[in-house]
Amino acid sequence: MKPHDLKPAAGSHKRRKRVGRGEGSGHGKTAGRGTKGTRARGTVHTFFEGGQMPLARRVPKLKGFTPPHRRVFGAVNVADLALIEQSEIGPGEMRSAGLVRKRDELIKVLGNGELDRAVTVRAHAFSRVAKDKIEGAGGRAEVVSTGERAIRSSRSAR
C-alpha cells in the first residue's frame, strides 16, 4: 500500500478547514499563510519569475507548425538494396547492413538506383517508383504494419 492508495473510511465525513475565523479556531490571524511575503498577501501566476524577464519572453520564437505526432521514416534507396546479398530483405537486414540508423523505427524504400535481381523487400512504406522497380525486377514489395511505436513525437526527432 502506498500513500496515494489511502482513502477515508466509507461513510466518513471530515469538515474542511475554515481559516481566518478568529484566534479561537487555531487558524486565525495569518490563516495558515505565515507572515509577510507574496504568498501571504495574494497570488502570483505560475510562471512569474520575480520580475525577471520570463522564459516565455526570453526565448526566440519559431515560426510555423510542427505536427505533434508526425511519422519519421529512415530512407533506403533501391540501389542500396542491391548491395544486400539476400533474397528476402526486411528492416532487420537493412539495419544490420548499416543502411538505416538505429533510431529510425520506420523505413521507407525510395526509387533511386536500379535492381538487377528478384528480391522480396519488406518495409513500412514504398515510393511508387521503388515499388515499380522492385516488381519490374521480378521481386515483391511487402508493407510491414507500423504498430503503436511508429509514431514518434516531433520533439525527439529534431
Q: Pick 73-157's CATH classification: 2.40.50.100, 1.10.3210.10, 3.40.50.800, 3.100.10.10.
A: 3.100.10.10
- The pLDDT confidence band at residue 9, using thresholds 50, 70 and 90, is very high
154 grid coordinates: 516531433
Mean pLDDT score, 139-153: 72
pLDDT in tens, 43-61: 888 889 989 999 989 999 8
Sign of the Cα pseudo-torsion (109, 110, 113, 118, in order)? positive
Q: Are 154 and 101 in contact (CB under 8 A)?
A: no
Single-letter code of the amino acid located at 20: G
Domain ranges of the chain: 73-157
Please state, rounded to an integer, the average pLDDT across all residues of the chain: 88
The mean pLDDT of 117-132, rounded to a whole number, is 95
Average pLDDT over every residue of 56-75:
89
